[in-house]
């Protein structure tokens, strides 16, 4: 009796929130309210699914569920009209109710041992209820073929009341940099719908490719959809740039677009197409150079980045864009069309006599206002057709009382949250998509352990932490925050598998950000639901990141010259197993229970384990231990690259990396124009005969090898005697790298060791950025 009472108390305590200890309710995004109940509902061949007789949409929703359950389980459920009286027996009923509080997407679902009742006011609510139902079932509900082993096709009883926080819940995909087939776009939409996203932002055009058929302008796909080759690696990866030499192309026919639009609509997903203007237009200019400000020549971009050649605001350019948008509007449901507006350099406009004449004619102040004129013209035309524009937050730049976008223009705030706040204060609707939280092409774990990505660092927990509505925005502005979108740019994502790896599980975090109320969000609870999410993604054959389970290493350099290594993982129920002999750790390797000490250079590898099963990928680090480790270091000129770099990172035992943006290099310290002058104070006078220093070579980013490296030794820190000099070649180009230089000399006793990497000052003649200020940057320094 006591056990029964405790069970019921435990279930009742979960009203409005389910217990972290129970994986039976691992729904993502988390419902607004979930009340756990005793018992289970089991699907059997006798289960009847009932919908209103005259409601074809609900029949379709129910029919799709019946077919998927049959595909996976072999069970055959019967679809019947809803009876006037309450049905008896094992049943799933879809019941339309008049309840304005549910809105168009809210629902209630009551799961009892003998029946499931779903109530909603609109079809979308029933659709989202079924998505929750899928997630309550065993993950193998998503199997594309019958499951042969025994599965309990049942659900724990509960009651759910649910509706979204925001009406706009978007996920973006760039198909211009790399093209993805219709089959993958459909799979992408399936995953959006399962996690209750309702918008797919299809980025169809950019400098590197035009991906949508326009019948009036066939060269857009004949020429603009193709590029002759593609840059290898990051933009600063090599000097000169290296290319793969492989022609690349692809586009969607209008028939394929209609197919995708119809497919999305069946999944309650609206597609917003993006046609970039006036920048990011090289693919247009390659096909139709007459729309540029110069005679060209133009070609579809083979590199990434921002290009100076943009559309020129001729009358014929506007005619072209109106023609293009007319065909685009005929393919998509509306009401939005995205017109881009971001990253439009003004150099071509500054040089163009036509643009300068137009600026004077229109009495504009500058080229920024010329872009406002360009955007406002497109906006006015789109609005005249009954549509609305969305643009990146630059569409507000250069606005003036005389020339501005219409009040109905929606701003997509990507340059932080400030632009979104500004737009909302100006009474524009806003979609928040700040890069620091919502760009899923960023690295999500240790860069040195991850596949190539755009740069920057946005881990799962950071994405989950985002709140789209700023507290300091007044209520009049908060009502303009329509919702959130996560963006997936594909410069470095060549395959569908790479896209999925970057998107999942971070998109699940986004789903909860945009659907679930802040008071219902809970990071520990979300992570408790991750294992079930991963099982669902496995069943859906999705390639996803398991970075949540990664082991993180925290080395601490100690004054005695040793290195203390701490290991941690975010998963509280997992063990960490590690090795120090170079072998890959397994569940049988030593278990980590406390920090351990290294007294010599060592390769450490670690992995998370639970129930004797490896959860994550093996992480590996090489640690340096020398007489310099953990000692005192001073830089004559403070390091400024990366920003706020501490001198101690040069002797902390951890090797650096140049992966990502130049400004984001980890474990290195750089100075501009000055010498990198480091003095290391040892604990006591010692005999030394070898110094190694890692020097960064990234000439595409103006980080050059020094012209000379000097090593000097002192007893008092004041008077130094030179013991070694080596000459290097600052003009050496090639791949970005950290090159370790070893300087050996006759043994000498000293307490202070000074290493000076002498900066060439200016980039030498004959190099790409000749005359620019040069940097010198160093990695780990060791002394023996």
The helix or strand, by DSSP H or E, that contains position 711, with its residue range, turns out to be strand 708-714
**Cα separation, 399 vs 429, whole angstroms:** 16
DSSP for 517-547? -GGG--HHHHHHHHHHHHHHHHHTT-----G
**Cα separation, 293 vs 69, whole angstroms:** 58
- E strand map for 588-675: 596-598, 602-610, 613-614, 619-623, 632-635, 669-672
Closest by CA position to 608, among listed 591, 629, 632: 591
Measured CA distances, 301 to 53, 209, 453, 653 (Å): 55, 8, 19, 42
Answer for the pair 174, 205: CB distance below 8 angstroms, yes or no: no
Q: Hey, which residues are catalytic here?
A: 343
**Cα separation, 693 vs 702, whole angstroms:** 19
CB contact set of 161 (below 8 Å; sequence gap of 6+): 31, 32, 33, 106, 108
DSSP for 77-112? PEEEEPPSS---SSEEEEEE---GGGTTT-EEEEE-
| Radius of gyration over every alpha carbon of the chain, rounded to an integer in angstroms | 30
Closest by CA position to 425, among listed 437, 413, 433: 413
CA 22 and chain centroid, separation: 29
Alpha helices, H only, 540-655: none
**Cα separation, 181 vs 183, whole angstroms:** 5
Cβ burial of 177 (10 Å; 0-12, 13-18, 19+) is: buried
The helix or strand, by DSSP H or E, that contains position 262, with its residue range, turns out to be helix 254-266
CB contact set of 91 (below 8 Å; sequence gap of 6+): 47, 48, 49, 50, 114, 115, 116
**Cα separation, 546 vs 557, whole angstroms:** 29
CB contact set of 357 (below 8 Å; sequence gap of 6+): none
Q: Residue 338 has what DSSP assignment?
A: E
Beta bridge partners of 115: 91
Cβ atoms within 10 Å of 605's Cβ, excluding its own: 20
Contacts 24+ apart (CB under 8 A), 79-88: 79/48, 79/49, 79/50, 79/51, 80/48, 80/49, 80/50, 81/50, 81/51, 81/52, 81/53, 82/50, 82/51, 82/52, 82/53, 83/50, 87/48, 87/50, 87/115
């Amino acid at each position: 009796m006591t056990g029964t009472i405790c069970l019921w108390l435990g279930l009742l305590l979960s009203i409005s929130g389910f217990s972290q200890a129970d994986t039976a309710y691992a729904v993502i995004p988390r419902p607004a309210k979930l009340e756990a109940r005793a018992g289970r509902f089991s699907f059997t061949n006798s289960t009847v699914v009932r919908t209103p007789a005259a409601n074809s949409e609900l029949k379709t929703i129910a029919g799709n569920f019946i077919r998927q359950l049959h595909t996976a389980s072999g069970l055959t459920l019967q679809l019947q009209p809803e009876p006037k009286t309450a049905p008896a027996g094992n049943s799933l009923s879809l019941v339309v109710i008049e309840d304005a509080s549910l809105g168009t997407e809210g629902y209630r679902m009551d799961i009892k041992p003998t029946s499931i009742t779903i109530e909603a006011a609109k079809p979308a609510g029933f659709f989202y209820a079924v998505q929750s139902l899928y997630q309550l079932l065993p993950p193998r509900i998503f199997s594309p073929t019958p499951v042969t082993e025994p599965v309990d096709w049942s659900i724990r009883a509960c009651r759910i009341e649910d509706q979204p926080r925001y009406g706009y819940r978007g996920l973006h995909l760039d198909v211009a940099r790399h093209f993805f087939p219709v089959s993958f776009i459909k799979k992408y939409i399936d995953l959006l719908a399962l996690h209750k996203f309702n918008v797919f932002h299809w980025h169809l055009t950019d400098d590197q490719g035009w991906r949508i058929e326009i019948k009036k302008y066939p060269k857009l796909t004949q020429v603009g959809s193709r590029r002759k080759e593609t840059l290898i690696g990051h933009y600063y990866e090599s000097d000169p740039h290296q290319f793969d030499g492989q022609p690349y192309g692809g586009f969607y026919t209008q028939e394929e677009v209609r197919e995708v639009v119809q497919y999305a609509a069946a999944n309650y997903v609206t597609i917003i197409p993006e046609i970039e203007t006036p920048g990011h237009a090289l693919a247009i200019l390659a096909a139709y150079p007459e729309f540029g400000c110069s005679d060209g020549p133009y070609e579809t971009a083979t590199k990434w980045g921002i290009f100076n050649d943009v559309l020129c605001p001729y009358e014929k350019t506007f005619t072209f864009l109106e023609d293009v948008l007319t065909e685009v509007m005929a393919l998509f449901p509306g009401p939005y069309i995205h017109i881009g507006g971001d990253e439009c350099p003004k150099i071509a406009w500054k040089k163009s006599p036509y643009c300068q004449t137009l600026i004077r004619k229109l009495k504009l102040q500058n080229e920024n206002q010329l872009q406002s004129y360009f955007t406002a013209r497109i906006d006015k035309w789109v609005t005249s057709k009954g549509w609305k524009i969305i643009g990146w937050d630059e569409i507000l730049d250069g606005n003036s009382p005389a020339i501005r976008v219409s009040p109905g223009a929606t701003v997509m705030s990507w340059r932080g949250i400030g632009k979104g706040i500004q737009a909302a204060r100006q009474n524009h609707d806003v979609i928040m998509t700040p890069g620091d939280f919502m760009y899923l092409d960023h690295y999500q774990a240790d860069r040195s352990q991850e596949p190539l990505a755009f740069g920057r660092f946005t881990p799962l927990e950071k994405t989950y932490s985002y709140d789209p509505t700023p507290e300091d925005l007044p209520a009049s502005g908060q009502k303009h925050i329509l919702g959130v979108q996560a963006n997936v740019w594909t410069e470095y994502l060549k395959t569908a598998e790479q896209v999925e790896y970057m998107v999942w599980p971070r998109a699940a975090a986004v789903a909860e950000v945009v659907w679930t109320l802040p008071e219902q969000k809970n990071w520990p609870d979300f992570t408790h639901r991750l294992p079930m999410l991963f099982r669902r993604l496995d069943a859906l054959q999705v390639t996803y990141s398991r970075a949540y389970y990664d082991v993180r290493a925290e080395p601490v350099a100690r004054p005695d010259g040793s290195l203390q290594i701490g290991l941690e993982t975010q998963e509280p129920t997992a063990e960490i197993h590690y090795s120090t002999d170079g072998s890959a750790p397994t569940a049988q390797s030593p278990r980590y229970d406390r920090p351990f000490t290294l007294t010599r250079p060592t390769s450490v590898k670690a992995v998370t384990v639970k129930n004797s099963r490896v959860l994550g990928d093996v992480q590996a680090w090489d640690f340096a231990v020398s007489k310099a480790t953990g000692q005192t270091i001073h830089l004559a000129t403070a390091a400024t690259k990366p920003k706020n770099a501490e001198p101690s990172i040069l002797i902390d035992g951890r090797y650096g990396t140049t992966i990502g943006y130049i400004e984001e290099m980890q474990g290195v310290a750089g100075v501009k124009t000055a010498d990198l002058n480091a003095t290391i104070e040892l604990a006591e006078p010692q005999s030394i005969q070898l110094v190694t220093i890692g020097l960064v070579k990234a000439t595409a980013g103006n980080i050059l090898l020094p012209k000379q490296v000097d090593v000097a030794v002192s007893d008092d820190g004041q008077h130094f005697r030179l013991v070694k000099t080596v000459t290097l070649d600052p003009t050496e180009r090639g791949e970005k790298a950290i090159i370790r230089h070893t300087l050996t000399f006759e043994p000498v006793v000293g307490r202070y060791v000074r290493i000076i990497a002498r900066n060439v000052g200016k980039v030498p003649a004959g190099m790409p950025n000749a005359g620019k200020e040069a940097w010198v940057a160093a990695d780990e320094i060791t002394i023996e």
